[in-house]
Structure 1
Amino acid sequence: MSFLQNKKILVTGADGFIGSHLVEFLITQGYQVKAFCFYNSFNSWGWLDSLDKENLQRIEIFMGDVRDPNGVREAMKDCQIVFHLAALIAIPFSYHSPDSYIDTNVKGTLNILQTARDLNIERLLITSTSEVYGTAQYVPIDEKHPKQPQSPYSASKIGADAIADSFYRSFNLPVTIVRPFNTFGPRQSARAFIPTIITQLLSGKTEIKLGDVTPTRDLLFVKDTVRAFEAIANCNELIGHEVNIATNSEISIQEVADLLIQKINPKAKIVTDKNRIRPEKSEVFRLFGDNTKLNNLTGWEPKTNFTQAIIQTIEWFSNRENLSHYKSDIYNV
């Protein structure tokens, strides 16, 4: 029996890309879920609004802001398990608005940790990112790889991870730092390169604007990512640990772009947009993750073939209603 059964699970960042998939997955597994969504005057629940009504009716929605400790306490007070995914994630936006990244990613995580300690939360997963490793010094990148803050975004996540680790060591809080590599799939933000390419192709463009196409990434399908979250939450041996979710592989942005062009419009070509190129010392040129710890302790491994995952992603974006959420003419930082 899953440790999560008969527990109330809070998912912060539930309105976002990975968060909405995690909520949907947990609901289909029969778990009791409360979704913490970012408060807005439109009463929008983000990507949760796209779930079918039957699943949506099974979710308890809480509107708030992780930067506010009182709202965090209100959201967590009747929960036993917390998956903390709420964060600002866009790297270019962090170049000119670093304060907001400290407020949301560092202070927001601190609010979650302090409340979890006060309320004796039974299990807390803090979501990190492979960006904390920076350009690989060796591959595959395991959890002992040095941290390199190559952007204000990655620095904020390194800070959040360090605070989470300190709460485990200082207060024995049952924390695990979960580190997904480059997750992709339906609902992903246009600031990521796969949706950027797909939305430009589907809108009929034949010149696809991209930045540097030489970096490599360890690409992880979102359905595999959320399965890993469940596996980690059920594994007591991972309390107090950092753990990668990765595929033990790498592929260049150029190779992915070529595949997408081949499947959508073979006549299209890539053109370099200088606005999309990161400063050289900030660009992460190689990410190739090691999932040995996760596999050894939980048995998790990616199940979705990469080409099939790409096809599923294209199919989702090909739906006009889904595509209407994206502005392919605008560079989304």
Structure 2
Amino acid sequence: MQILVTGGAGFIGGHLAERFVREGHDVVALDAMHPYYDLGIKEHTVEVCREASASSEAGGYEFVEGDVRDADLVSDLVSDAQFVYHQAGRAGVRDSVSDPRVYDEVNVDGTLNLLDAARASDVERVVMASSSSVYGKPQYLPYDEQHPTTPVSPYGASKLAAERYGCAYSEVYDLPFVGLRYFTVYGPRMRPNMAISNFVSRCMNGESPIIYGDGTQTRDFTYVDDVVEANLALMETGAADGEAVNVGSTDNIEIRELAAVVRDEIAPDLEFEFADRHDADAEHTHADTSKASVLLGYEPDHTIREGVAKFIEWYEQNRGWYEPLVLAS
């Protein structure tokens, strides 16, 4: 298969690109290399994918530095693709509060560029990275896909708008499109400004984990390998076309308990530090993945504790290159 992965040097996009290459598909990875965090992590991801493609049984890999706001570039790349995995987007709830317009430009207009290119080409399916941030304040938990979508941040609003455009294009233009609503994805090469990477890096260096708020907020953290499996399923089935689908762990945990899990594994004598919680941060997230189970056969393999243990092991093995970039961000 010829696969285009936008945001292909990023965290989830990089894992998708690597997996596709290892399974023999030809991948083009498009990424703007925006310095939201240390670009060394993205550069390492590109090298991992290039090394994966060197195997005799692997597929080809090409990296293209460019922006989804460049409609001509997007059109050229989409025209050669059979599947498009749209992972590109400006990330971060807090930063979206200070600069909402750029989130609209990248996450909404950039997605429209891709959708327009896809409907003009012979694309078999567009799979977009949406977010649990589309739900906003919970009226009930766990969130199912029928829960009202009332995002409380510009980031969440931009992901909802992009997702809704994709579903509308599926209805009006018969473009196969699926929006996957990710719930706080983590794992190897994750962004350094996430709770788990912060907790692990601080504990590794003998520094107390910092908890924002009182720590009673809960999250449904999803291990990246489970997210990859959900995406892979969409190469085989059109059952979810035109739909938005939750991808989570079905497990959730209080932030202070998560900090304790990490601390107790690495440096049990450390005390916690507390700081002010940001208003745009969600209070609780918890995914109902029944729809993904029915449509995609999705069954997450990792509990939060299992996934965190795997990440800590990976961190220790890759500390030499990863930790300096985490601490610099």
Task: Name the TM-score, length of structure 1 as normaliser.
Answer: 0.90
Q: Is the 8 A contact 2:71 2:113 kept in 1?
A: yes
| Partners of 1:59 and 1:134 in 2: CA distance | 37
In the other structure, the counterpart of 2:189 is 187
Q: Is the 8 A contact 1:128 1:180 kept in 2?
A: yes
Cα displacement string for residues 130-163 of structure 1 (whole angstroms, at most 9, x for unaligned residues): 1111232112211111111211111111111121
Cα drift, residue 121 of structure 1: 1.4
In the other structure, the counterpart of 2:228 is 226
Mapping for residues 1-333 of structure 1, pairs under 5 Å: 7-38=1-32, 46-51=43-48, 53-57=50-54, 58-205=60-207, 207-212=208-213, 213-274=215-276, 277-279=277-279, 282-318=280-316, 319-327=319-327
| Partners of 1:158 and 1:43 in 2: CA distance | 27
| Partners of 2:13 and 2:274 in 1: CA distance | 32
Counterpart of 1:61 in structure 2: which amino acid? F
Change in 2 beyond 3 A, CA 1:290/1:24: same
| Partners of 1:8 and 1:253 in 2: CA distance | 40
Cα drift, residue 120 of structure 1: 2.9
Counterpart of 1:21 in structure 2: which amino acid? H
Change in 2 beyond 3 A, CA 1:62/1:312: same
Cα displacement string for residues 262-288 of structure 1 (whole angstroms, at most 9, x for unaligned residues): 0011111221122xx211xx3311111
Cα drift, residue 17 of structure 1: 0.7
| Partners of 1:40 and 1:184 in 2: CA distance | 20
Percentage of pairs with the same residue? 31
In the other structure, the counterpart of 2:57 is none
| Partners of 2:52 and 2:250 in 1: CA distance | 33
Q: Is the 8 A contact 1:12 1:86 kept in 2?
A: yes
Q: Is the 8 A contact 1:186 1:316 kept in 2?
A: yes
In the other structure, the counterpart of 1:4 is none
Aligned residues: 318
Q: Is the 8 A contact 1:62 1:75 kept in 2?
A: no
Counterpart of 1:220 in structure 2: which amino acid? T
In structure 2, list runs of 5 or more residues that go unmatched: 55-59
Counterpart of 1:308 in structure 2: which amino acid? E
What is the RMSD computed on CA atoms of the aligned residues? Answer: 2.0
Q: SS in structure 2 opposite 1:244?
A: strand
Change in 2 beyond 3 A, CA 1:111/1:133: same
Change in 2 beyond 3 A, CA 1:217/1:120: same
In structure 1, list runs of 5 or more residues that go unmatched: 1-6
Q: Is the 8 A contact 2:132 2:181 kept in 1?
A: yes
Change in 2 beyond 3 A, CA 1:166/1:47: farther
Task: Name the TM-score, length of structure 2 as normaliser.
Answer: 0.91
Cα displacement string for residues 34-79 of structure 1 (whole angstroms, at most 9, x for unaligned residues): 1112257999753423516531443122221001101111221211
Q: Is the 8 A contact 1:216 1:250 kept in 2?
A: yes
| Partners of 1:306 and 1:208 in 2: CA distance | 18
Q: Is the 8 A contact 2:135 2:150 kept in 1?
A: yes
Cα drift, residue 321 of structure 1: 1.4
> Which range moved further: 301-310 or 210-219?
301-310
Q: Is the 8 A contact 2:209 2:272 kept in 1?
A: yes
Q: Is the 8 A contact 2:220 2:248 kept in 1?
A: yes
Q: SS in structure 2 opposite 1:309?
A: helix
Change in 2 beyond 3 A, CA 1:65/1:52: closer
Q: Is the 8 A contact 1:316 1:322 kept in 2?
A: no
Cα drift, residue 181 of structure 1: 1.1
Q: Is the 8 A contact 1:90 1:191 kept in 2?
A: no
In the other structure, the counterpart of 1:3 is none
| Partners of 1:237 and 1:140 in 2: CA distance | 23
